[in-house]
Amino acid sequence: IDKETTGLLVAAKSDRAHHGLAAQFEAHSVTRHYLALVQGVPSAADPRLNGLRGATFEAGGILKIATNLARHRSDRQRQAVCWPPEGRHAVTRARVVEGFAGQAALVDCWLETGRTHQIRVHMAHAGHGLIGDPVYGGRRRLSVRALGAAAVEAAAGFSRQALHAASLGFDHPVTGERLDFSSPLPADMADLLAGLRAGAAGG
């Protein structure tokens, strides 16, 4: 996972385990769900999002973003959306869990592929950059009128991308047993989430 992203990761302790896990990642059989707090609320009713290249909506209001990703041409520390034949194929799906006065949302994101900075780049491409993301977050500002000063200040002062690896599932590479893990939100994201809820509720 990216630096400053919290939550679950898996590490192999032997070559056998490494190869077994790598095969599952290659086959897309590992399940990885992330919780993100993003700017705005992704919606199938948004004509801009419906017209965005690489973005489609699936049943249940699930946003699918499918692009290629490659290193940014002028900033080698960044990734950028591109199109074949450049880059590597990347697919992210996202579902709004909770919206906050049209200004921000808690989003469940899951990966079909696992590219560097994938969720952060894809959500920024969709116009819904992660709150606190210093690289891809963009300049969008939350409305004090809609959320209140306290929530807006909390979001503006959030010091990292609001992204948490919340669940991870895979088959044990030696025994074959299915393993599923979950991790609760860290305190900083939980506090920000509570502030957004309170702001959206009018206090």
Distances (CA, A) of 191 to 3, 48, 91, 126, 155: 20, 31, 30, 25, 10
Considering 2, 108, 171, 188, which one is annotated as catalytic?
2
Distance CA 70, CA 80 (A): 6
* Cα 120 to the center of its chain, rounded Å: 6
Residues 169 and 180: beta-carbon distance below 8 Å: yes
Active-site annotation holds for 2:
yes
100: tokens are 């906050």
Tell me which residues are annotated as active site: 2
